[in-house]
Structure 1
Amino acid sequence: MRKWIWIIIAALWLLLLFMPWQGIPPLHKFLLYPNSVLQVEMEDQTKTLSNSRFPGLNISFDERGVPHIFAETEEELAFGMGISHAKDRQFQLEMLMRTVKGRLSEVVGVEGLESDRWWIKFDFENKSKLAFQQLQETDPQIAGIFKAYADGYNYLLKQQNEAQKAPEFHLLGFEPSPMDPYTPIMLIRYMDKVLNYSENDLKFSALKKHLSQSLIDYYYPLQSDLAFPIYPELSSNDSLDPQAGIIPYTSQSDFPQAETRTGGNNEVGSNNWAVAAEKSATGNAFLCNDTHLPLDLPGTWYEVHQVVNGKVCHGFSIPGTPMVISGYTDKVAWGMTNATWDLSEFYKLETNDNNQYKLDGQWEELEATTVQIPVKGQEDFDYTYFSSFFGPADYMEGELLATQWVGEKFELNEMKAFLDVRNATSVQEAHKALLGFGHPAQNFVLADNQGNIGMVTAGYALLHSRPQRGISLGNRKSNLAKFTHLGNRLVVLEPGKGWNHSANQQQVKSDFTPYLNSLFAPTARGRRISTMLMSKDKIDRDYLKKMHGDVVDGEWPLLKKMILESAPESFL
């Protein structure tokens, strides 16, 4: 009798494990240990890849999980980076790729629709495919690196068993997607979204209904009196001659859901600074980079040690690209902070009942595109957006607005710029390499093994004919703002003071600043870094550690001064 009881229990247990239960993943993938995603992995941390495209590639992981990749060629190195990112950041990359493609809803349900609707109107997947095809003709080396990176990622996917897949795939009930070679091009747009996209102009347009222009200028000045620029050397002679302005549009909506980015939001940026040989206690240059991106799990950065044909590079990559984004070689070092420019613009389109919009006095066709967005657990969602001279257009709070955004720029290849920086032998060569960096615009700090340092703000700025905030009228082609690369304009190499710094504040204190943005980060961080760098004749490692750990409230003295200057005498 007992024998039959145990047989019945075993049968019920197997039924429980393999029966599909609504709303939960298959239980056998978690509770049967030989196939469970919860089992402890006993795999050797040194990977030999004799059956791969690059049998000589060697990847080992140290006690901190940092990969050490030894390769003979750039493509072999990229293959190893693809394997490493697939091993450690597979689910993160899956969700990043789905986000930019507008395919989140397919695996997370209706909660992903808002994101999918926003991304899909830019059609970045098809545009990235086209950019990669062009790259195969214009720069086959970079195209080959991108393909090798995707091949490495997909190689590991094919080698994995069920237990080695990230638990999230089992919980959500879908399989990992293979990577395409255009993925590094596509995912740059995600960093653009994180670092520079904002809908501040929508709020500024609505604000005009509630405040007079004088009060708007008082609370949100185009340029702060407390400006503390990155490049004081350039501030006195850097200006533009404003031309005739564009007539702004005052919306009837307050845009309560707008994605705003204030000066305080830019505190998510970073600090960096460098010390030249003449101010260094060791006679060598120092470079420090403290990235203030949010603490996420998994994080944005991925540390890696690369050795290709004997050349060493150590630093941080970002899953989705084989390049080191912030790091050093035996010749140069580089780091960055966000430039915090306003790189998105919105245009109100005047339309008629014939699906047309007025441009330069003529009615132009609004090209409508309808896409079906797969939604997990529901029917596909039909979404329609429009194409215009100013960019993709969609309805926001009942207003048909076209969006112009730096993420749509495909002329430069940012990953090629990082490869060239890694191969540079001096700050001058590194600066030249960064002229190929398009977006998101960054303040790059540089140092080399000859003791020289530099700072260059590389990337596209979105410049109108004069500073303005709010929604623009999309009725004339001349109203379209122009993208201008500033890598040769905002640069100081080998500064005479022997040090430099940036902390997301404005680059220059001049009439040029409002063309870039009016909501930079507060200046307290930059002021404190500057004070500490000036306070010692010779700077050593211990002092740099002290700077990294320094905690001072630099905002209150500045705020106190403003309060005393602004408050009525009766309050003092």
Structure 2
Amino acid sequence: MKYFSFFFVLAITVGLAILVSVPIEQIPPIASLIDPNHGFWQNTISEDQLATEEIDLKNLTAPVEVVYDQNLIPHLFAETEADLYRAQGYVTAQHRLWQMEFQTMAAAGRVSEIVGPIALELDRMTRRKGLAYGAELGMKYLQENDTETLALVEAYADGVNQYIAQLTDARLPVEYKILNYRPEPWSAFKSLLLLKYMSDMLVGDRDLEFSNLRKILGQSKLDKLFPEFSSDGDPVIEAERFWDFEPIPVIKPDSIPYPEDMFKVSPLPQPVEGTGSNNWAVAGEKTKKGNPILANDPHLSLNLPSLWYAMQLSTPTNSVKGATLPGALGVISGFNTDIAWGVTNATRDTRDWYRITFQDDSRSSYKYGDEWRQASTRVEEIKVKGQQSFLDTVVYTHYGPVVYDRTFRSERQDLNFALKWTVHQGSNEQKTFLLLNKARNYSDYNEALDHYSAPAQNFVFASNTGDIAMRVQGKFPLKWPGQGKFLMDGADPRTEWQGYIPNEQNANTLNPERGFVSSANQYPTDSTYPYYVFDNSYEHYRNRRLNGRLREMEQITVEDMMGLQFDDYNLQAAEALPVLVRLLGTYRAESPEAEKYLQELKDWDFYADPDQKGQTLYTVWAEETFESVWRELLKSDAPVVRPSAYRTIELMAKSANDSIFDTPSLQGMQSAEYHVKAGFDSMLVAMARREAEESDYDWASYKKTTIQHLVPNFKSFSVGNVYTGGGSGLLNATGSRHGASWRMIVELGSEVEAFGIYPGGQSGNPGSRYYGNFIPIWARGEYLDFGLRSVGASENVLFKTTLK
């Protein structure tokens, strides 16, 4: 990775021109790439070789000390918060500038500026969803309501921009050199835009697909296949929780005006199945030392540079350490001397779709009740590298932007759907993290969360006074049962949201009797919670495995929590495989391998360790079986979503002869047994192909965990075939492209003990030794000692720099 030949550079450049359709005249001259003083070779130098003792940074009130440990983790010591965040912006840009800018350009719908027309459809979709619009409203909110936070965000931007101003051609990140462009100034707007981008990554909706399913299946069968609660649910907030508040009444219309068409438009991208997170905290009564222990491991795309950047941020009154988000202020998941906190996605449906009826082709007004409301337009100029700009006119209603219309993803002239989303309503998530960073107790934690709107998150908390807590936080619309599950008629005012759940009535718990709090993307509460809560993607396995283990465990140690984060037990397989084997019965395919595979499955202990073959066989058999069950349903030429694996297995176990298993295109009546046998036959075919092409089918070889560069075509900057276990639905949720993007364990005693790791490295430079040095540690389930450092500590120092 450190040294590259001329021909390798040439291959990357020419390949890029072909793959991303960048005109050849836009590619930098080869001579500039291989220039030993300014080109590619300068990016093979690691940061410790470039260290300087002092750096000039304007607008500081006092010098800021930056101490790098042996893993290039910076520890910043500043006199004031403004100095601290100005320095954070500068230091983060030193190591992650290209990543920061690339992600915010993606969030703004500006990727076409970098790679050309291949990204135009992506940019149009991003603009039409209104991410930049939401960030503009966030800026307006800060300008009108919180100038103190705005000043800190602007200080961070000033730090980034001072680094950009000092940046030489030699130190320019290599991605800029290959893609032939330069960084532009940072701004407070970009920091807010980054947080909106996270909302878009984590929120999903299936209104379109559910509307089509309702038309295909009817309401009764739809409810059967997609029940709102599982039979053995174990919610985020313990079922014993008593809701001691008077809920706000929500009025449901007597008749609900749903559009009755089948909609054949392409849905927006959704969070990838298997993406999720875990967090939990155990009370001192369950731990060996009598101290609370908190754990967090958000599961996201495995990318390089890593989504996270580890830092310690200190002033004379506070020291906080953890995972930062390059481009945003403060620590997102971390701890200080008094508390620790972490986040998981709460998977709440906070965006809904409304069919808009325009008065005429001008689209200047739309029907709302008995009136015609005035619409507005926003012309999005999308600059395209090597071509003229593309102008996209987006109509805005009071609901939000009209994403689907006659010009975008619609086959019909009369199809117009507007998106209503909490991201478009002005909020101050940045303040939440600034306050959490210096919080001292449960009261401070709650005050910080009151400023948080989106994306919905489960915030876990622990303090050195012994409190543990969980709060499901976001700005949640008041909805009647079923509202937002299907596309709605925007001409009917009865379909409007009826306000928002008050913050103090969001689902929460403090010091429950069971001695722990936890979340793993499952349903937030049981059915006693007085507000309607819905999402299609609630998790059914990780949460039960986690809660089952936490109930059993006593005398818990930090090492126990590390083991739990790396737990490979496949609860789905433990429940489903006996069902599959029973339904397979005495059936045997005409294959000498069938008995071997079946015996390996029967001998398997349900752990998805990297050397296990049973995990591979189960994955292929189960997926082929589920595909067989729902193949007819998924043949619809309109988008639909298939029932969850959990519901499919439940029906196979309890109602194997149910009519849902019948395949109308085949003769006779099919049962679950038919699909299990068909899935087994398909598994035999798939495995025969696999064994012919590759020498082994152990789980790690089959799964091929890859940590991919943010530009997929830059394969040389990615790390493939990482040898590690885990998988979707497991606590160690490491799949092929998704997994634990950050693991943290904190024990809050008289002295805080903390451990953390992520699959990458501190440097964003592929030529640095600190680019991917954490990956082997992460893959083995090991951790770095992540304790707080004092300003005078001298052990394990890589180098020191003073900003002055």
- Shorter-chain TM-score above 0.5: yes
1:25 is aligned, of 25, 28, 43, to: 28
1:498 and 2:503 correspond: no
Q: Which residue does the alignment assign to 1:62? A: 69
CA contact (8 A) 1:229 1:505 kept: yes
Give the direction of change, closer, same or farther, for the CA distance of 1:86–1:147 in structure 2 (3 Å limit). same
State the 1:236 CA deviation. Answer: 6.4
CA contact (8 A) 1:220 1:518 kept: no
Q: Which residue does the alignment assign to 1:427? A: 442
State which drifts further: 324-333 or 552-561: 552-561
State the 1:434 CA deviation. Answer: 0.9
State which drifts further: 325-334 or 344-353: 344-353
State the 1:275 CA deviation. Answer: 0.9
Give the direction of change, closer, same or farther, for the CA distance of 1:100–1:78 in structure 2 (3 Å limit). same
Alpha-carbon distance between aligned partners in 2 of 1:50 and 1:294, rounded to the nearest angstrom: 36
Unaligned runs of 5+ in 2: 1-22, 580-648, 659-670, 674-804
2:210 is aligned, of 204, 212, 227, to: 204
Alpha-carbon distance between aligned partners in 2 of 1:205 and 1:126, rounded to the nearest angstrom: 28
Give the direction of change, closer, same or farther, for the CA distance of 1:364–1:93 in structure 2 (3 Å limit). same
Deviations 1:151-176 (A, max 9, x none): 00001111110011111112222110
State the 1:119 CA deviation. Answer: 2.7
Residue correspondence of structure 1 range 61-140 to structure 2 within 5 A: 61-121=68-128, 124-125=131-132, 128-129=135-136, 131-132=138-139, 134-136=141-143, 138-140=145-147
Alpha-carbon distance between aligned partners in 2 of 1:43 and 1:405, rounded to the nearest angstrom: 47
Residue correspondence of structure 1 range 533-572 to structure 2 within 5 A: 533-559=550-576, 560=579, 562=650, 563-568=652-657
Alpha-carbon distance between aligned partners in 1 of 2:265 and 2:575, rounded to the nearest angstrom: 32
Q: Which residue does the alignment assign to 1:259? A: 269
1:374 is aligned, of 373, 383, 389, to: 383
Alpha-carbon distance between aligned partners in 2 of 1:299 and 1:451, rounded to the nearest angstrom: 33
1:272 and 2:361 correspond: no
| TM-score under structure 2 length normalisation | 0.64
Q: Secondary structure at the match of 1:22?
A: helix
Q: Which residue does the alignment assign to 1:13? A: none
Give the direction of change, closer, same or farther, for the CA distance of 1:523–1:76 in structure 2 (3 Å limit). same
Q: Which residue does the alignment assign to 1:389? A: 398
Q: Which residue does the alignment assign to 2:171? A: 164
Alpha-carbon distance between aligned partners in 2 of 1:513 and 1:256, rounded to the nearest angstrom: 35
Give the direction of change, closer, same or farther, for the CA distance of 1:47–1:246 in structure 2 (3 Å limit). farther
Alpha-carbon distance between aligned partners in 2 of 1:155 and 1:483, rounded to the nearest angstrom: 43
**RMSD, matched Cα:** 2.5
State the 1:436 CA deviation. Answer: 1.4
Deviations 1:187-235 (A, max 9, x none): 211001000143x111111223322222211221222223221112466
Alpha-carbon distance between aligned partners in 1 of 2:520 and 2:419, rounded to the nearest angstrom: 28
Q: Which residue does the alignment assign to 1:407? A: 423
State which drifts further: 271-280 or 354-363: 354-363
State which drifts further: 392-401 or 133-142: 133-142
Letter in 1 for 2:442: V
CA contact (8 A) 2:318 2:438 kept: no
Q: Secondary structure at the match of 1:443?
A: strand
Letter in 2 for 1:478: R
1:53 and 2:59 correspond: yes
Q: Secondary structure at the match of 1:305?
A: strand
Deviations 1:328-363 (A, max 9, x none): 000100001100111111101112325332111222
Alpha-carbon distance between aligned partners in 2 of 1:236 and 1:126, rounded to the nearest angstrom: 39
1:349 is aligned, of 351, 356, 365, to: 356
CA contact (8 A) 2:33 2:178 kept: no
Give the direction of change, closer, same or farther, for the CA distance of 1:222–1:235 in structure 2 (3 Å limit). farther
1:446 is aligned, of 452, 461, 464, to: 461
CA contact (8 A) 2:320 2:438 kept: no
Letter in 1 for 2:261: S
1:471 and 2:500 correspond: no
CA contact (8 A) 2:26 2:180 kept: no
Alpha-carbon distance between aligned partners in 2 of 1:277 and 1:444, rounded to the nearest angstrom: 19
State the 1:417 CA deviation. Answer: 1.2
Alpha-carbon distance between aligned partners in 1 of 2:373 and 2:135, rounded to the nearest angstrom: 27
Structure 1 segments (4+ residues) deviating >4 Å? 122-127, 233-242, 511-514, 557-561, 569-572
Alpha-carbon distance between aligned partners in 1 of 2:672 and 2:151, rounded to the nearest angstrom: 68
Q: Which residue does the alignment assign to 2:742? A: none
Give the direction of change, closer, same or farther, for the CA distance of 1:319–1:532 in structure 2 (3 Å limit). same
CA contact (8 A) 2:347 2:535 kept: no
Alpha-carbon distance between aligned partners in 1 of 2:450 and 2:468, rounded to the nearest angstrom: 17
Alpha-carbon distance between aligned partners in 1 of 2:481 and 2:28, rounded to the nearest angstrom: 57
Give the direction of change, closer, same or farther, for the CA distance of 1:47–1:203 in structure 2 (3 Å limit). farther
Number of residues of Structure 1 aligned to a counterpart in Structure 2:
548
Deviations 1:86-117 (A, max 9, x none): 11211111122222322221222112212221
Alpha-carbon distance between aligned partners in 2 of 1:129 and 1:530, rounded to the nearest angstrom: 41
Give the direction of change, closer, same or farther, for the CA distance of 1:402–1:134 in structure 2 (3 Å limit). closer
Residue correspondence of structure 1 range 457-536 to structure 2 within 5 A: 457-468=472-483, 469-482=485-498, 484-485=500-501, 487-489=503-505, 490-510=507-527, 512=529, 515-536=532-553
Letter in 2 for 1:76: D
| TM-score under structure 1 length normalisation | 0.89
CA contact (8 A) 1:454 1:493 kept: yes
Deviations 1:245-288 (A, max 9, x none): 63211333233444345xxx463111111111122110111001
